[in-house]
Structure 1
């Protein structure tokens, strides 16, 4: 039996009534966390609302002996995000864990996608993350403790056709994760991203017939660790898909230094510029920005003298 429990902790799970969010909520609840299930019960496109899914999820948690409340506010507005955090404060007096899992889908090619379809997905995934992170971070920083888990995707790293709204949202989440980790370091607040692969409502419209077993229960333990006080990392991204767990990160080639450049010299050097034999990898929460600048300047100076 695990010793990594969440007794006394309060966790907010957006999109927590179904799929991955439900698995996260049930796992943390079973380990002693008090849970706020946030879910407005909308369709996968993000339209409509229904209090039923959140209420049913909360009742299931209560039947299992967990303390839980429902909040049906939408993450898509600043007011909704604030209300979600206030639901935790009103019910339990604090917020220790924020798992932003809420999402929607609107597939369309880049040359035909409407602005409404583009913005709708950003509002839930990316802006929705900020809407709940901003008030959560303020409380976590004051109490000198917090865990944030944001939901990214391999779609934000590599992407696929007809999901420009989703790709932009998930790649943008990387920057938000970095900032929470960097600014939270002095306050005991850690932030990481889960890049999950699971067959849930989000997979509607995709051919999953050749997929291996990919249930949400395979992803939940990774999120559980990222949300736990024993989590030893921050500002990182973890892939969890079909039982495979891996760390994803951004790297760059060492590149080439020249005192001056022309278009032709770029062409001449492109092979060495792209050479992956020598790579630089920096950690955002460990002064990655400063280290990048310092090593870049050092490379220049070594060639100048």
Structure 2
């Protein structure tokens, strides 16, 4: 049986590096993707070297995920190097500027291009290979900002919300083919989250979210269409919830906002059917 192969994007440092090392420790070959900057050292090579030194198998890829041919080239590089592709860990992303809407350029298009559209192109290019895998897996690295919003980071929150919704839809489309798709929203101290006025918390090292990422990308993962929050070796599940339905009344909004009789649905169709049944007593 051939060894599994996994692509981890944005894996030169921080969470991506931790994810790549954890996936490799689980037995998969890893393509360590990180864009190369001509005027800087190439950290992805250090990650690949560390994996190799630990007895694993790794190669590097320097294509930018948002380059015109980047996603397709990344997939092709993994297949050419390893002969197949079994899993994607879609970690590459940017935060964009910290700015409130109306106060300047939030760089929404740029953030969406990297955090959302590049990932959809990677998935589309990878699907033919994942369908040939005995256990295709996709891990979308998102953020709780995509669930709850982030003040001053509307572009980032919007991109992560889009990535989360896209992944949940994809999970519903692909589960019959045995391809599991899950969303990971990690809490970790990285260069992206660092602030000069705040000391780093060693309990939130990137490695604390890596074990669940490696499991979600593995053949052992038997779950799909879920959102997992992870950090410091802990995890919890996250879901979009709806309350029961009731006739409209301004006075009733406060009570419904507490989510009485909370419900979770796998897909928008199921949510609509439940609302319709609440309102009209019919399926």
1:69 pairs with 30, 39, 59, which one? Answer: 59
1:126, distance to aligned residue in structure 2 (A): 1.2
Larger Rg: 1
Q: What's the counterpart of residue 277 of structure 2?
A: 298
Residues 245 and 278, structure 2, Cα contact 8 Å, conserved in 1: no
2:8 pairs with 6, 13, 25, which one? Answer: 13
Residues 245 and 279, structure 2, Cα contact 8 Å, conserved in 1: no
SS of residue paired to 2:168: helix
1:144, distance to aligned residue in structure 2 (A): 5.2
Distance change >3 Å, CA 252–CA 207, structure 1 → 2: farther
2:260 pairs with 267, 277, 282, which one? Answer: 277
> C-alpha deviations, 1:61-84, integer Å up to 9, x for none?
222222211111111145101111
SS of residue paired to 1:280: coil
Instruction: Quote the Cα distance in structure 2 between the aligned partners of 1:92 and 1:31.
Output: 16
- How large is the Cα RMSD of the aligned pairs? 2.3
In the alignment of these two chains, the number of paired residues is 281
Q: What's the counterpart of residue 289 of structure 1?
A: 268
Instruction: Quote the Cα distance in structure 1 between the aligned partners of 2:108 and 2:80.
Output: 34
Runs of 4+ with >4 A deviation: 48-51
Unaligned runs of 5+ in 2: none
Instruction: Quote the Cα distance in structure 2 between the aligned partners of 1:167 and 1:129.
Output: 16
Distance change >3 Å, CA 245–CA 70, structure 1 → 2: same
Q: What TM-score comes out, normalization by structure 2 length?
A: 0.91
SS of residue paired to 2:149: coil
Q: What's the counterpart of residue 20 of structure 2?
A: 25
1:211, distance to aligned residue in structure 2 (A): 4.2
Instruction: Quote the Cα distance in structure 2 between the aligned partners of 1:193 and 1:113.
Output: 31
Distance change >3 Å, CA 181–CA 95, structure 1 → 2: same
Q: Map 1:127-166; keep pairs closer than 5 Å.
A: 127-143=117-133, 145-166=135-156
Q: What TM-score comes out, normalization by structure 1 length?
A: 0.84
